[in-house]
Structure 1
């Protein structure tokens, strides 16, 4: 049998591609995950620092303290921000303007994990403009996009197998959450539950490695403290579970309302007589003029609630409704920000308000509104995203309060069930996918074949037939890609090619029989 493998075949990068296509490349994948964690963590630190130093010019008390601005400034700043966002997005083609966690899930589930550099740049700078401009959006969604794109683009640059791109993107997404909140465990669970939407054992180690590396960078930069400094607040009595249950019911209804309003606003975006980005700026400026606490992510308000410094029930309820409506409207109109941070604020407001009302109506001793605010945070995030484990672990790591686990699980169950029932379809991301015409239901077979590279079943022992041209498939393709190529060309055998120094080199063959034997 002739040897058709020139020296390029033995090149280390080629060997890495072959190994990553198969099932025994966990050490190599973990090393790449660590690199992605460092790259994504560094980008997210840069992201935060740009926002911090930009807002420090007019917010000397901190990023979130927009209430210190004059009334007119609170109206003008979001309008100016919307103009800059519009100019930025007009520089790219329409198909490159999709951003956020929705975009990441869409690319991973329906486009083989391939993400674009242009979209990442738009997300990075667009979210900076939105946050500097005081929009009621979060930084975690943009962070996940930037992190996931970092992993995907690195894999594409190295021409790694397509079956690894989803894992590499998950590494970046986990690193983003880890660096944003200083919560490595929450980063891993969030990447699996929200981004990849699948718990795969061979993905956990690389994703964990990425989250750890990003957390190390974050702690070097900002210290080991969690995002919110909260005293340990135990549940006073089991009677408080009644208050928690009532609060969870309300939060489930609020989460469903938020999802419905956000989707309705997005559906009307093309029918407006004014550019939706500019309209979002005008709307945000108007709300900020009358109620400055709605501006920004809301972390300063959460700090006040958790430390018992915001006690007025009427103000809590007004601010909760205003935050929900404003966040749903501006994100629905296309402002490139996330909803995780604002959802935590909405939940904290609802939980604190119900804690106060329970204390007043039931006359219970030692009821802590801060404790119920914590429960509200975890319930709202879980219900909006339909991601119970991600929400639970996020709040647990943020607060480092073990007393929250049992009552948090209780409220999560109630809030997720009610929100899911009222939306009929699921969380915000899944509803957005359905609105775009996607069906999230893949066959198990397609999922399996998409996660394995052609090198998994490739044979290196073959003979070339001079009278028959071999249909090529790249070495980084998945088994699902190979089957689709076979169907298109009505063939049973494909030649697996890798990029050499001057031309593509045949390194093996893959047959339909080998693929059938693999999944059987």
Structure 2
């Protein structure tokens, strides 16, 4: 009898290849570093294309680039200023109709940062690339045609969508897919602002929601690569020019505290109006039987009407932000611009144009800070740090409070100015403004957007687990014979697509140790059984997995 032939031991090359394949399959750190680098380059060039598309549309419609948009539009005839936002609205409406028809935009709106955070928390880091590309096109048309919104939100979504399709294509596990999603977001922010440190911290602080050691390296690599792409293409200059910052006195830091209170007030007003507008306008459209995709032209007409007198409200607003930082406006003009920019942004997003809230919040903060600096200058005279100091502090405080990203916005200001005093002032003001804003609103702008879909992220991932784990995933299944035998059971039961939170609540309310699980189809036949012990054990395992992901 011949003995079985033992397989030959693997060669060093085979062992190395097996190790590499396992690293990729399981999404371990060395593989994630390589993916972070590749995604950083890809997302950086995607954001570069997105920015150039906005520039091209702006030049075709208004004959001006973003650096001179307000001043260029001021020289145009009134019919031109009105026609461009309306025409842009027609194009956006057509794109929304297409997205609704194809199922790429089921809510008839373009996507931005909140959808990236939702994908991380609820959908294992998965984003439909078609939704990402169409949202980017809608936002490019919106901003190029003068819509008052931000470019960073759509850029983050585009970067996240590119990262997600890579993770799906490689079949990465959910934990690795979430890290890769954050890599795309980091590269997008870094490329948009030319600020690699802020890009990495934004992805960790806002998108991932934690600073686990395993996540830091790939996210940082991706952010650096995104910034490198921007610098190779646009040079080392930041998104907008910042004048030198004068030395601040002790009195200025007392003023910073007061500015933090004012920034919180502006952030709360801006968030509440912007969040309420889409639903309010949708109800009006429903009453007059107007589909949601037909709303943008009407919003364009309203924004164009405001721009007839104040073209500074158009587009991303970087020119006006830079002028406010340089002290280029009188106090009365700053107050008017503050009010009208809020109104224009609420109209733009409420009438289903694309775009985000990052740039508008920077604009509002710079204008508020410049106005506060003017008042402080009159009160303190030569002892004040100047308009630029307060404008930078206000810019960081309002944007940080709106986005729920105090550390990221502080770092953005530091990378823009390299000023320790300005960064310290931002840190004080944004901490106060964020605390006050979230105490009143209950969360950041993105968290409140997601909360309207039924997911509460303000208390961490623990509650979301109860809203995402299905009973079918944790029940004990029955075979076909048992299911057929028990099909006539009329006792109170659960359904396979119930969430774990409902199941635990049901078992506790009924004071039972378990319940049958029915199918939604097939005459509601019983297909499994869920015990209270299994439900709590599944929740405990999920909590342990989340804890490990967020702390290792």
TM-score tier, shorter chain, comes to: 0.7 to 0.9
CA offset at residue 60 of structure 1? 4.4
Of 285, 295, 299, 2:314 maps to 295
More helix by share: 2
Structure 1 residues 419 and 343: CA distance shift in structure 2, 3 A:
same
Instruction: Tell whether 2:198 aligns with 1:186.
Output: yes
Instruction: Tell whether 2:53 aligns with 1:50.
Output: yes
Q: Could you give the per-residue CA deviations for residues 387-427 of structure 1, whole angstroms, max 9, x where no partner exists?
A: 1111111121122322212211111122112212221x111
The structure number with the bigger radius of gyration is 2
Runs (5+) with no aligned partner, structure 1: 451-479, 481-486, 492-511
Count matched residues: 454
Instruction: Tell whether 2:230 aligns with 1:230.
Output: no
Instruction: Tell whether 2:428 aligns with 1:428.
Output: no
CA offset at residue 69 of structure 1? 2.5
Q: Which residue of 2 aligns with 1:89?
A: 96
Distance 2:444 2:383 in 1: 36
Q: Which residue of 2 aligns with 1:280?
A: 299
Q: Which residue of 1 aligns with 2:415?
A: 397
- 1:93-132 matches, within 5 Å, as 93=100, 96-97=104-105, 98-132=110-144
Distance 2:260 2:59 in 1: 37
Instruction: Tell whether 2:323 aligns with 1:319.
Output: no
Give the 3-state SS of the residue equivalent to 1:115 in structure 2: coil
Query: Are the counterparts in 2 of residues 229 and 399 from structure 1 also a CA contact under 8 Å?
Result: no
Q: Which residue of 1 aligns with 2:81?
A: 74
Distance 2:327 2:208 in 1: 37
Q: Could you give the per-residue CA deviations for residues 450-501 of structure 1, whole angstroms, max 9, x where no partner exists?
A: 9xxxxxxxxxxxxxxxxxxxxxxxxxxxxx9xxxxxx98779xxxxxxxxxx
Q: Which residue of 2 aligns with 1:38?
A: 41
- 1:350-361 matches, within 5 Å, as 350-361=368-379
Distance 2:409 2:5 in 1: 58
CA offset at residue 266 of structure 1? 2.0
Distance 1:39 1:158 in 2: 16
Query: Are the counterparts in 1 of residues 26 and 173 from structure 2 also a CA contact under 8 Å?
Result: no
Q: Which residue of 2 aligns with 1:457?
A: none
Structure 1 residues 256 and 442: CA distance shift in structure 2, 3 A:
closer
Distance 2:122 2:374 in 1: 46
- 1:496-511 matches, within 5 Å, as none
Instruction: Tell whether 2:153 aligns with 1:173.
Output: no
Query: Are the counterparts in 2 of residues 59 and 68 from structure 1 also a CA contact under 8 Å?
Result: no
Q: Could you give the per-residue CA deviations for residues 159-214 of structure 1, whole angstroms, max 9, x where no partner exists?
A: 22222111111000000001101101111011111112222210110011111111
Instruction: Tell whether 2:255 aligns with 1:255.
Output: no
Distance 1:281 1:410 in 2: 38
Distance 2:248 2:438 in 1: 30
CA offset at residue 333 of structure 1? 3.0
Structure 1 residues 163 and 445: CA distance shift in structure 2, 3 A:
farther
Distance 1:381 1:443 in 2: 24
Structure 1 segments (4+ residues) deviating >6 Å: 10-15, 487-491
Q: Could you give the per-residue CA deviations for residues 247-282 of structure 1, whole angstroms, max 9, x where no partner exists?
A: 221110110011110121122132123443233222
Distance 1:11 1:253 in 2: 61
Instruction: Answer with 206-215 or 274-283: which moved more.
Output: 274-283
Of 2, 6, 23, 1:19 maps to 23
Q: Could you give the per-residue CA deviations for residues 297-319 of structure 1, whole angstroms, max 9, x where no partner exists?
A: 11101221222322x10000000
CA offset at residue 125 of structure 1? 0.5
Structure 1 residues 240 and 44: CA distance shift in structure 2, 3 A:
same
Instruction: Tell whether 2:352 aligns with 1:334.
Output: yes
Distance 2:94 2:18 in 1: 42
Query: Are the counterparts in 1 of residues 358 and 399 from structure 2 also a CA contact under 8 Å?
Result: yes
TM-score, normalised with respect to structure 1: 0.81
Of 210, 221, 231, 2:233 maps to 221
Give the 3-state SS of the residue equivalent to 1:272 in structure 2: helix
Runs (5+) with no aligned partner, structure 2: 469-499, 501-516, 518-526, 531-537
TM-score, normalised with respect to structure 2: 0.76
Q: Could you give the per-residue CA deviations for residues 110-163 of structure 1, whole angstroms, max 9, x where no partner exists?
A: 111111022112111101100111011111000000001110111112222222
- 1:123-162 matches, within 5 Å, as 123-162=135-174
Distance 2:528 2:220 in 1: 41
Structure 1 residues 11 and 151: CA distance shift in structure 2, 3 A:
farther
More relative contact order in 1 or in 2 (CA 8 Å, sep 6+)? 1
Distance 1:401 1:69 in 2: 38
Query: Are the counterparts in 2 of residues 101 and 142 from structure 1 also a CA contact under 8 Å?
Result: yes
Distance 1:71 1:444 in 2: 54
CA offset at residue 14 of structure 1? 8.4
Structure 1 residues 388 and 18: CA distance shift in structure 2, 3 A:
same
Structure 1 residues 61 and 118: CA distance shift in structure 2, 3 A:
closer
Query: Are the counterparts in 1 of residues 455 and 464 from structure 2 also a CA contact under 8 Å?
Result: no
Q: Which residue of 1 aligns with 2:397?
A: 379
Query: Are the counterparts in 1 of residues 264 and 398 from structure 2 also a CA contact under 8 Å?
Result: yes
